[in-house]
Amino acid sequence: MSIADQSPLDVLAVYRLAPVIALGRVEDAAPLAEALVVGGLPIAEVTFRTAAAAESLRIMADCGDVLPIAGTVLTKDQASAAADSGARMVVTPGLNPVVVEHVLKLGLPICPGVCTPSDIEAALSFGLEVVKFFPAEAYGGVATLKALSGPYPMMRFMPTGGITPANLSSYLALKSVVACGGSWMVAPSLYEGGDFGPVERAVREAVTLAKP
């Protein structure tokens, strides 16, 4: 079954890792998507932190082999732009009810950022099943996530923020964690010279670390 035929949350549950990408140049989108696919991690969370985000997301979506996710979406306009660019899921750093409602009306799954019980209850009020625990390390890491999972066993989390090869396994060991967001395997420094081989190698290593 191809990526396009699977729900975004099911894909994340299989690979257990979402590369968080900040692209400054549109021309890097296609080779980066190829490096992700060849490396064995066909997921791209393209953050809306740069002017190149929407077009880069469109290019990755058009390749058909990558799950295109829009990250760092802050407004309804950005959410609409993400949907127009082919995003199949939206991730936000916080829980803005206006943005959540808009994304759900667009027919896309959304994974809003949370870090408190009140945030989680707001997410539950929208019928959401997966949220982004962010910024994970800054808000207590694994210990906090364990504590939050106690009263909310129905909620699953995608911790992001400070996730590294050194702590990835400790997060993925939690039953409540569906996947982790990380950027080390797609850091711009790996391909600044135009060679995407280092990205492919870093992705392969990350895939090995994320295996159950």
**For the residues of 3-63, what is the DSSP string, one character each?**
GGGS-HHHHHHHH-EEEEE--S-GGGHHHHHHHHHHHT--EEEEETTSTTHHHHHHHHHHH
DSSP 199: H
Identity of the residue numbered 212: P
197: amino acid identity, one letter = G
Q: Which two tokens stand for residue 153?
A: 């066993």
Q: Is the pTM of this model over 0.95?
A: yes
53-63 and 76-84 helices, crossing angle to 10°: 30
Count the Cβ atoms, other than its own, within 10 Å of residue 33: 25
Q: Is 132 annotated as catalytic? A: yes
Going edge to edge, which strands form the sheet with 89-91?
110-111, 89-91, 67-71, 43-47, 17-21, 180-182
Of 55, 76, 101, 132, the active-site residue reads 132
- Residue from 27, 45, 55, 105 carrying the catalytic annotation: 45
* Paired residues of 20 in beta bridges: 45
Nearest to 102 by CA among 125, 132, 126, 68: 126
Radius of gyration of the chain (CA): 16
Class of domain 3-210: alpha beta
Per-residue pLDDT 10s for the chain (212 aa) are: 789 889 999 999 999 999 999 999 999 999 999 999 999 999 999 999 999 999 999 999 999 899 999 999 999 999 999 999 999 999 999 999 999 999 999 999 999 999 999 999 999 999 999 999 999 999 999 999 999 999 999 999 999 999 999 999 999 999 999 999 999 999 999 999 999 999 999 999 999 999 98
| 211 catalytic per annotation | no
Phi-psi region of 154 (alpha: psi -120 to 50; beta: other; left: phi over 0): alpha
